[in-house]
Chains A and B, each alone.
Chain A
Amino acid sequence: MLKRLQIYEDRCTGCTSCQLVCSFAKEEYFSPALSRIMVDVQQEQARFRPRVCIQCAEAPCIETCPVGALSRDEATRAIRLDKGVCIGCRRCVEACPYAGVGFDEEQGLPLICDLCGGEPACVDVCRFPQAIRYAEEEGDNS
């Protein structure tokens, strides 16, 4: 069975380390605004919600893309973006039922997790909280 990213919202401590390593892995610099995983931080009530593509079976993002810029990676099932084809219409952002697609206003491109080719950088920085896991089985295995 293929692995996929699993998010356990109630375990997230809001460290946002995942955003730092993600933007570095993808852009070679640290900028949460460019991270493919997005953490909503509600400081006063200490509520944290990581949002990221979880390689869902239906992939409405692919279906809704009017120019065919999105496709599925055969090996990892991650969503691939063809930047040259994308027109920045944001339909994928709106179509994702998990709010797992971000958008970079400056480049006019969606921000979608590509699983770092099968070794997602975000997972290693979440070793203690285990709010992000990359595993075959779904469910709470802690």
Chain B
Amino acid sequence: MNTSYPGRVVRVNLSDNKIERQQLSSELLRAYLGGRGVGVRLLWDDVAPDVDPFDEGNALMFLPGVLTGTSTPCSGRTTVSAKGPATGQYLKTSVGGYLGIALKMAGVDAVVVQGIAEQPTVLVIDEQGGRLEPAGDTWGQGVKETTRRLKQRYGDDVEVACIGPAGEKLVRFAAVMTSVYNAAARGGIGAVMGSKRLKAIVIVPGRGGVRVHDPDRFSAAARQARELLYNDSVAPDLHKYGTARDVDILNELRLLPTRNFQRSALSGDAYNLSGRSWPKMGYLERIVSCGGCIYCCHRFTRVSSGPYAGTASGGPEYETVAAFGSGCGILELEPVLAANALCNDLGLDTISAGNVVQWAMETAEKGILTEDDLGGLKLSFGDAEGMLELLMMIGERRGVGDVLAEGVARAADKIGHDSHRWAVEARGLEQSNVELRGAYSYALAFAVNPRGPDHLHTECLAEFGGTNEGISLVEKLTGDKSLAVPDTEIGRAKIVRWHEDMYAVTDAVGMCAFSTTAAYSLDEHALAELVAAATGQEISGEELMKAGKRILTLERCFSLRHGLEPSCDDRVPRRMMEEIPQDVQKGEPMDRERLSRMLKEYYELHGWDPETGRPLRTELHRLGLDFAAEVAVGPCEKGGSR
């Protein structure tokens, strides 16, 4: 039977140079779909609780989704998963570019890498299987040069996913880069690859392609999905101005994280930083797309004159602009473009890198990090040169960069002086650039995100009420469309619950979250039709969402098994809890009581114990997760687990 996702795994053990094929069972595929879902199911078995993220027992997985490689719009995403170095718990990242399509065209649905290579190594995957070869002169090189050399070696049309110097040096926020500029960024996934001495995965294009179960039915479903996405109200601006389109509007609304979240807006105009200005200013060279996308929200930017002339790179995205622009107190775009290009080449997550630099700037302004500590840098907010130099030091683990490369939580441990108070992290991961003190669904979602506080497990854009589609969804979820406002705690748990299931499904099928949780036109029923037509597995929208819940519940279980303590880990960064932005006269911090009330409601909606935040055994049984009952509480289901 033809299916778009037959479940073909390539298993690599770098310690003993072994490559094997594994076939996933149809039961597993039905329960976990593909992509992120298959990833967490394999991680549960493959990675024991006592394994350190940098041990050879950790498993690094590359997981295109069920629909990746088909004409489903926006379906070119790949999940990259492992036990994460920032948190020591579950980690998934998602990346675009051409990686997923290339893997599927080589006849591979998942790659699992364990072990540690004796020498720096490259994994070459083609339709015949895989082979390991020495990384040779690519070790030590930046992402651009590495990609160039590997294309020279293996052919212009190969796809390369690699780490830069930051991944080699185990920077805890190193990224895996693919298609030169696309980052599987968060949580230190690139450091896991570095710890395995795996410099790159090279994928040789194949011919076999991706087949679907029912071509006519699939064709109709894909056309319908395209039509829905083309007509969604977020679509035109996302295409035209990219993810950084609204930086100036966020600044006016006082929702733009500024100076390490001390303020909520820049004192000047943020138009220069906004994606809307780049075409006019001459920075936008081209609108760029991930493989298989119809929105095309990525950018390629260039600086052609002045001190940053020669800077040319993919991006930047909104997060990068906020991290190095407003976050570092910098109003000009050019240094932001330079920082973006530098991170892309070093292979650094721009969210964490920017957050770390901001923390260092604040710590320096408070007189705790001195010029001596900083190797002669006089660091302060607004200092573009200092920012760029610090990024180099981090990427190379030079001087204070060695401490900062551990991330803000560990750096604050080392530097002391109460510097935890302005370390904007939870669970060991630096927070992404969302003003949580005015957006309560985001705050709740960040607090329970298994990989730490960011928007990339559960994007709740609907709560802002910015589009009709978003308002309708809030009405559907809460029964009241007036709740499509971000600064109320009412209904937030329901909003988060729907979004997290939908996000898990989106990752599992290999689609982009913009297509389901920014644009809202494509619902679970349209997705179910695509999955059924592509795989031949009849599945309803409700069953699909249940699979989403199964995936994220197992992620929770994985983290619980690896040391998650809900009572202290389900939180947002301290600054969000205890302070309000200095430039905002009204409003309140996301205090503990408010968060606790929302958490309790959220746990209850999940069928988790409202006091401890641990899944109830009955709920695990309902989801077919009895094998994870060791981390749950409550009585066993009759005839169920253990």
A residues with a Cβ closer than 8 A to B are 10, 13-17, 20-21, 23-24, 27-34, 41, 43-47, 106, 124-125, 127-129
| Contact B288–A31 (Cβ < 8 Å) | no
A-chain residues with CB within 8 Å of residue B144 when the two chains form the complex: 44
Which residues of the other chain, A, contact B181 by a CB distance below 8 angstroms?
43
Chain B, Cβ-Cβ closest to A106 = B207
Give the residue name and chain of the B residue nearest to A15 (CB): B289
Contacts of A129 in B (CB 8 A): 239, 287, 289, 296
Taking CB atoms, residues of chain A closer than 8 Å to B219 are 24
> Are B296 and A30 in touch, CB under 8 angstroms?
no
Q: Smallest Cβ distance from A104 to chain B, in angstroms?
A: 8
Binds A, one of B30-38, B111-119, B209-217: B209-217
Complex Cα gap A92–B286 (Å): 33
Are B179 and A33 touching (Cβ within 8 A)? Answer: no
24 interchain pairs (CB within 8 A)? Answer: A13-B288, A13-B296, A15-B290, A15-B293, A17-B71, A20-B71, A23-B209, A24-B219, A30-B209, A30-B210, A33-B105, A33-B209, A43-B147, A43-B180, A44-B147, A106-B207, A125-B71, A128-B235, A128-B239, A128-B296, A129-B239, A129-B287, A129-B289, A129-B296
Contact of B105 among A31, A45, A47 (CB under 8 A): A31
Give the distance in Å from the alpha carbon of A24 to the alpha carbon of B181 in the complex.
Answer: 28
Contact B180 A31 (CB under 8 A): no
B250 at the A interface (CB under 8 A): no
Cβ distance B505 to chain A, nearest Cβ, rounded Å = 21
Pairwise interchain contact A127-B209, C-beta atoms closer than 8 A: no
A46 and B300 contact, CB distance less than 8 A: yes
0 or 1 for each of B169-186: is its CB under 8 Å from A? (1 = yes):
000000000011100000
Q: Are A29 and B288 in contact (CB under 8 A)?
A: no
Q: How far is the CA of A91 from the CA of B538 in the complex (A)?
A: 47
Contact at A128–B288, with CB atoms within 8 Å?
Answer: no
Q: Is B207 within 8 A of A15, CB to CB?
A: no
Q: Which of B70, B215, B235, B288 contacts A20 (CB 8 A)?
A: B70
**Residues of the B chain whose Cβ atoms lie less than 8 Å from the Cβ of A23:** 209
B209-A124 in contact (CB<8A): no
Contact of B71 among A21, A106, A127 (CB under 8 A): A21
Shortest Cβ gap from B34 to chain A (Å): 15
Chain A minimum-CB-distance residue to B209: A31
- Name which residue of chain B comes closest to A27, CB basis: B209
Q: A13-B296, A14-B288 are in contact. Are A44 and B180 (CB under 8 A)?
A: yes
Q: How far is the CA of A33 from the CA of B179 in the complex (A)?
A: 18
Given A15-B293, A16-B292, A127-B230, CB of A29 within 8 Å of CB of B71: no
Which residue of B73, B239, B286 has the most chain A CB atoms within 10 A of its CB atom?
B286
Q: Is B285 an interface residue (CB 8 A)?
A: yes
- Give A105 Cβ to nearest chain B Cβ, in Å: 8
CA distance A45 to B298 in the complex (A): 14
> Besides A13-B288, A31-B207, 10 other CB < 8 A contacts?
A13-B286, A15-B289, A17-B293, A24-B71, A29-B212, A30-B210, A30-B212, A31-B206, A43-B179, A129-B296
Point out the residues of chain A lying under 8 angstroms from B312, CB to CB.
45
Closest 6 CB pairs of A and B: A31-B209, A15-B289, A46-B300, A13-B289, A13-B296, A30-B210
A17 to B229, CA, bound (A): 15
Asked whether B294 is an interface residue with its Cβ less than 8 Å from the other chain, the reply is yes
Given contacts A30-B69, A128-B294, contact A14 B207 (CB under 8 A): no
Instruction: Give the distance in Å from the alpha carbon of A41 to the alpha carbon of B294 in the complex.
Output: 17
